Amino acid sequence: MKRLRKLPISSIIDPCGKQNDNMSSGGTMDIIQKIKEELQVEKWQVEAAVKLIDEGNTIPFISRYRKEVTGSLNDEQLRNLDERLTYLRSLEDKKEQVLKSIEEQGKLTDELKEKILAAQTLVVVEDLYRPYRPKRKTRASIAKEKGLEPLAEYILCQEATEPVLNEAAKYVSEEKEVKTPEEALQGAQDIIAEMISDDADHRLYIRNITVEEGIVTGTAKDEKAQSVYEMYYNFEEPVKKIAGHRVLALNRGEAEKVLTVKVNAPEERILRYLEKKLITKENEYTTPVICAAVEDSYDRLIAPAIEREIRNDLTEKAEDGAINVFGKNLEQLLLQPPIAGKVVLGWDPAFRTGCKLAVVDATGKVLDTKVIFPTAPQNKVEESKAELKKLIKKYNVDLTKTLMFNNKKKKSVRHIVVENECNYCDIVDEFIPKDYNVVYIVSDDGKVKDIITETQVIDKLTTEQVL
């Protein structure tokens, strides 16, 4: 199953960018145009790549064998394109579902429709849909079933001239299972708390300020216990500055039940913000009730959800960073000489695509690459022999290393090396298991790939260097 790519935290802070240029006449997003702008490539390249992806072709296949169709989009560009295509299509599908659901409820306004269509992330769409989403039984829905919604509206009007409990007493009913005024008041507070939680603007503010000012903390469940996580027993670091490897370490410690991990937001600022939004009049009777509902809404409904979102984004960002670090470390391995002190000619047999040759010097530097076709269907045996001899003499090759992925190829091509080149250099066979995975790396800017794939031998050359 393909994993949907989430946007990084930076995108969460400002999820609603300009959209007009990327909107079709029908109000839907022009996905092709948006991807073109994001990747800074030509529109026809995006269209060609999308067509190939929709036909079921894999990214490695498109990258290696459909360069003429995509205008030589590299592996990294194609993967980013595929991820964004999947995400944006999911976003448009979600918008359509949300608009249909709200319209069926008879609650779709022009303003709400405009906001949904302009949303740039799934998070924003979900926030806008939250008040209209069919809910499972909640404390607020139960309170509404008991007829307590008018009491909540009365409190929010903030015009009470006597204690709210006096008004709440009017809603006591054995039939509706409201036994006391206090119980009625609690139900009204639950309704107000859910209303606060469902407001998209509230969630956006809280999400942004938590990212900007929140602190990731790690504490030990048993401070006396010895473990590899001791440096995180009393750990604090801002959300926007925490390093990816620390995020992953905290996650592992939490999974192993050694650590307790939290995201601490500036709670006082958030509560004051919500109170300012809700309390429009000074009223000694209703203000304490609204403040209690605000605190309950944040602690019970908003904070846990925002914390999950931020931690998920931190984790995904950390995992991507770990892969990049692995790539850099792997690059150093791949650039090592295959055999110390020897000039090596790597030979990888193939039929349809030809045999790939790569000459690597004693320091690991690539001297030359070639593709020859000594096997069926082209059977250019003599030309291949001549090219092979030319390479060996030109670079004073000490050793020829032949990569054998299967016995059929081995029998077809080994005699060309053995029979014709044994007078020039030593020969080594490397038989590679059937399930062997060719390793290659691509830097973010594509430089490593461009160097290695200059003559279309990326996988073969890097395999040679790993071995």
Domains of the chain listed by start with CATH number: 9-132 (1.10.10.650), 139-214+265-329 (1.10.3500.10), 344-466 (3.30.420.140)
Closest CA to 368 of 342, 340, 349, 387: 387
pLDDT in tens, the chain (467 residues): 333 333 333 333 333 444 445 655 455 678 999 999 999 999 999 999 999 999 999 998 898 888 889 998 988 899 999 999 999 999 999 999 999 999 998 999 999 999 999 999 998 999 999 888 887 888 999 999 999 999 999 999 999 999 999 999 999 998 888 999 999 999 999 999 999 999 999 999 999 999 999 999 999 999 888 999 999 999 999 999 999 999 999 999 999 999 999 999 999 999 999 999 999 988 999 999 999 999 999 999 999 999 999 999 999 999 988 888 887 777 777 777 777 788 888 777 777 777 888 888 888 788 888 888 887 778 888 888 888 888 888 888 877 655 544 455 555 555 555 555 445 555 554 444 443 333 333 344 433 333 333 333 334 443 344 33
Q: CA dist 369 to 79, 355, 356, Å? A: 27, 11, 7
pLDDT score, position 322:
87
Q: How far is it, in rounded angstroms, from Cα 2 to Cα 22?
A: 26
Q: How far is it, in rounded angstroms, from Cα 101 to Cα 116?
A: 12
Helices (H) and strands (E) in the chain, counts: 21, 8
The rounded Cα 346 to chain-centroid distance in angstroms is 37
The conformation of residue 130, written as its DSSP 8-state character, comes to G
The rounded Cα 196 to chain-centroid distance in angstroms is 29
Q: CA dist 220 to 250, 277, 302, Å? A: 11, 38, 26
Strands 355-360, 344-348: pairing is antiparallel
The torsion angles phi and psi of 369, rounded to 5 degrees, stand at -140, 145
pLDDT score, position 377:
79
Closest CA to 360 of 348, 368, 351, 372: 368
pLDDT score, position 416:
57
pLDDT score, position 411:
53
Q: How far is it, in rounded angstroms, from Cα 381 to Cα 180?
A: 97
Residue 445: partners with Cβ closer than 8 Å, 6 or more residues away: none
Q: How far is it, in rounded angstroms, from Cα 117 to Cα 96?
A: 9
Strands 215-220, 234-238: pairing is antiparallel
The conformation of residue 78, written as its DSSP 8-state character, comes to H
